[in-house]
Chain A
C-alpha cells in the first residue's frame, strides 16, 4: 500500500513554498549573535590575545574563551580531542580561539576584526608521510591516530599463483561537503533553566551528550531540536555550532544565534580524507583474482573526528565487491596540521573504489579480457567469503547489477574522443563492528491518531517519508491517521545518526517492530472487526499512556584487532556504474555524457526518492573525479572551490535491483552513500578508454589531464 510507492515527500510542500524553517531563519526576542575568531595559522602557540578594543565596541555583550567552559573543552565522536576553543596551541587554519557575542551579527563581526592575537609559529606538518617521521608532534601521543589491518589467507601464495600482477599507487584529494545551507543554530535558556539548542544537524542525541559534557550539566538539562537541515553528507555529524550557541545562552541567559558564512563553513567544516593507496593485485589467466595487497595512508588533519572509522572502512572494503582468497591490507591514519577530516559520504570508500576499480581494469588489460567479464567472474555472490571472513548468506545482488548494465556495455560504441568505464562497489550498511542500535516509539493520542516519535534526522535524503511509509504499511492505516513528531531529544528515542546509509535499514526496522506491536494491539481491540481507529485511540489515551517501542541493533561482531576478522556489517549494498565520457584533447576537459547506474538496494521503499539519491551521488562523484579539491587557505568559498552545476550533469539511466535483506524493513538496505561510491572510479576508467591515459590522482581536472596527455606524448 505504501512501500515501493512514489509517495510525495512530507516536507516538500512547505519547502516549495519557501516555508521550511532552517535554523538561520529563526528569530527570538532578545536574540544575540555569536561570531567566532579563528586561527589563520597551520600550527602555532598563542602568545597573547588582546580583546580590549573588541570588548569596548558598543553592542558587544561578552567575549568567551576556553577559560569560560564549565565542563570539558573537547568533543569528538570517538576521541574527545578537539577543543571548542584553543587553549595554548592552534593546530589547523580555522581553529576557533574565542567568540564575540553582540547585539547584531554586524557588530559581532566588526568587534571580531579588532581582536589581536600574537602567534609563535611552529613548523607545520602537512602530509601524513611527513607526520609519520616528523620530530614535531601535533599531539602528546604522537602523530599516528590509528592503524588497522585486514588479513585473509596467504598473500605470498597468492603471488606465486598469479599470472599477472598489477602494482600502482593512487591518491585522492581533500574535499568539502558544500551542503547548500551553512552550519547554523540558536541556543536559549528555557523557563525551567534548561539549555535548548535548535540547529542544523544529523544527530540530535549525540549532540545532547556533547553539550551536556561541555556545560557540565546533566543530559536531561539539555534539549536538542533539529531545524530543517539543508544537507549534511557527514559534515553535520560532528558538533558544529551547537556548543557555541549553548555556551552563549548559558552565559548571557538570552538566545544566541551562531550561523557561519560560507567562508567560515569552509574553514570550520570537516573534510573528506585524502588517502594514499598502494595496491598490488594479482589474477590467474582465467581472470580469477589471487590476492590483494594494499597499503593505505590517510591524512586526518588536526583532530581525530571520524578518522579511525575511515581508516577501518577503507581497509574492510579495500578489495572491492570481489572474492579474493588472499588479502593483506594495512591502513594507517595520521594527524597533520591540515583541516580536520571527518565523515563524508562514503567514509573512505569512494577513494578505495577508485583504486580497486582501476586495478581491475589494469588486470583485464594485462589478461586481454573484457572489463565487465573480469568483474562478473570475481563478483561476490551468495556464499562468498569477504576479506574479513564473513560469509554472505543473503541479499547479495552485485551480479545482478553487472547484468543490468551488460546490454549497454555490449552495445557501446567507442569512437573518437568518447570512452566508457565501469565502476563497482560494495558498502556495509551501518557502523563498523560496533553496536549500532536505533529506537523509536509510538503513542496513541486523544484526537484519535497514532503519534510517531522519530529521533532520526532527515537532512534532505527523505528519511521522514521513507520511515513513515514503513510504518503506514505495517499498521495498515491511512496517512491522515498519523502524526509525526520528530527531531527533538525530549520526545524521541535515540535513533543514532543519519550516516553510514543506516536510517532506512536500522531505524526502518525499529519502526517496523514498533508498528507490529501496535498492529497486534489494534487487532486485539477490534480494528479488523470494523472498530474505528479513532475510537481505539481515544479509549487508550483515556486509560493512561501506552507506549509501543521499536528497537533494532543489526547483528554484527567486533573485528579482531590483529586480523580484522569478523562480521562488521549485517548487510551490504552493491552497485555498478557504467559511464560514458568525452575528452576534448585540445582543452583537456572531460565531459560526462551518460551514466547507467545499477543498485542493489534490497527494496526501494520510495523509488523516486531512491533515484534522487542516485542522481545526487552521481553529481558528487563527478565533482570528486573532475573538479573538487580543497586546498587549505586557498579554497575560501565557492569561487575557489567548484561543485557541479546543472550543465555538468549527464543523462542517467537507473536500474533498481531488489535482492531483499531479511533483517531489513520489507527487505530494504541503504543507498545514500552507494550512490556516490563507484562514480569517480567509473569516470577515471572511462577517461582511459577515451583519451588513452590513466590518472592516478583525483581530481582529474584539466591541469592533471593536460599533464597526463603531455607525459603520454613523450
Chain B
C-alpha cells in the first residue's frame, strides 16, 4: 500500500492505494467519480480520460501512485452544483451527446484543448479529440460543440 496525496477537482485529498491500482480504479472506487468510464481498459477508447496536471491521460493506463503530488481533474470538476461549464452547455445545444458514454472523457480532452488554444481550427479540434472514440455521433456535432464553446 502507498499513501498518496493530490489535488482532486480543486480539493487537496489523500488516500492509500495498492501498487497495482490504476487511476481509474482509484477514482471510481474510492472517490465514486463515476464520470470516468471503462470502454476498453487498454488505452484505446478514451472514455476514462482525466486531466493529470492539466494534460489529458487515460486513467486506465495510469497507475494511481503517479497521482501523488499532482493535480487531477475529472468531468465532475466542470460543473458546480447545477451550474454547468460553457463547454457542457454547447455539447447539449449542438446535439453532441447521444448515448453519452464517451461524453465525460470527450469533454476533458476538449477542455484541455481549449485551455491551450483559444481559437482552435476544426482540424485542431478533430486532432484534440482523436484519442476519444465515439460510436454514435460521427464526431461532427462534437466538433461543432467545441467550436461553439471556443467562441464564448
Contact = CB atoms under 8 A, between A and B. Distances in A.
Answer yes or no: are A and B bound together in one complex: yes
Interface of A: 6, 8-9, 11-13, 15-22, 24-25, 177-182, 228-231, 233, 261-262, 459-462, 608-609, 611-612, 614-620, 637-639, 643-647, 649, 652
B99 A181 contact: yes
Nearest to A177: B135
A262 B137 contact: no
B103 interface: yes
A12 B91 contact: yes
Contacts of B135: 177-180, 231, 233, 616, 619-620, 643
13 contacts: A16-B78, A16-B88, A19-B35, A230-B99, A612-B138, A615-B140, A619-B139, A637-B40, A643-B135, A646-B125, A646-B129, A646-B142, A649-B126
Contacts, number: 174
A609 B142 CA distance: 13
B41 A261 contact: yes
Main secondary structure of the interface of A (DSSP, over half): loop
B127 interface: yes
Contacts of B40: 262, 637-638
Contact of A228 (B74, B76, B100, B133): B100
Contacts of B140: 615, 649, 652
Given A262-B41, A615-B140, A649-B139, A608 B100 contact: no
Interface in B70-110: 74-76, 78-79, 84, 88, 91-95, 97-104, 107
A180 B45 contact: yes
A620 B133 CA distance: 12
Nearest to A459: B99
Contact of B98 (A21, A616, A643): A616
A20 B100 contact: yes
B98 A461 contact: yes
B104 to A, nearest CB: 4
A649 B138 contact: yes
Contacts of B132: 646
A462 B95 CA distance: 10
Contacts of B99: 179-181, 228-231, 459-460
Contacts of A261: 38, 41
B138 A617 contact: yes
Nearest to B89: A16
Given A179-B99, A460-B99, 6 more contacts: A18-B34, A262-B45, A608-B95, A609-B95, A638-B42, A649-B126
B147 interface: no
A460 B98 contact: yes
A6 B93 CA distance: 9
A180 B105 CA distance: 12
Contacts of B37: 22, 180-181, 230
Interface in B41-81: 41-42, 44-45, 47, 74-76, 78-79
Listed from nearest, the 4 A-B pairs whose CB atoms lie closest are: A18-B35, A460-B99, A15-B100, A230-B101
Q: Which of A18, A181, A182 lies at the interface centre, i.e. has the most chain B CB atoms within 10 A of its CB?
A: A18
Q: Which of A16, A178, A233, A637 lies at the interface centre, i.e. has the most chain B CB atoms within 10 A of its CB?
A: A16
A261 B42 CA distance: 10
Contacts of B141: 608, 611-612, 615
B26 interface: no
A618 B100 CA distance: 19
Interface in B22-42: 33-42
Q: Which of B75, B84, B135 lies at the interface centre, i.e. has the most chain A CB atoms within 10 A of its CB?
A: B135
A647 B127 contact: yes
B130 A645 contact: yes
Given A228-B100, A460-B100, A17 B79 contact: yes
Nearest to A16: B88
A262 B39 CA distance: 7
Contacts of A612: 95, 98, 136-138, 141
A143 to B, nearest CB: 33
A8 B126 contact: no
Contact of A180 (B34, B39, B142): B39
Contacts of A21: 34
A182 B40 CA distance: 8
A618 B136 CA distance: 10
A647 to B, nearest CB: 5
A619 B102 CA distance: 15
A404 to B, nearest CB: 18
A22 B138 CA distance: 22
Contacts of B134: 180, 646
B27 to A, nearest CB: 11
Contacts of A462: 98
A647 B130 contact: yes
B92 A12 contact: yes
Given A22-B37, A231-B136, A615-B137, A12 B97 contact: yes
Given A180-B134, A231-B101, A262-B39, A18 B95 contact: no
A54 B64 CA distance: 29
B102 A16 contact: no
Contacts of B35: 17-19
B88 to A, nearest CB: 4
Nearest to A647: B130
Nearest to B101: A230
B150 interface: no
A174 B126 CA distance: 28
Contacts of B92: 8-9, 12-13, 16
A181 B40 CA distance: 9
Nearest to B125: A646
B34 A652 contact: no
A651 to B, nearest CB: 8
Nearest to B104: A18
A616 B136 contact: yes
Contacts of B36: 18
Nearest to B87: A16
Contact of B74 (A13, A18, A617): A18
Contacts of A20: 100-101, 103
Contacts of B143: 646
A461 B100 CA distance: 10
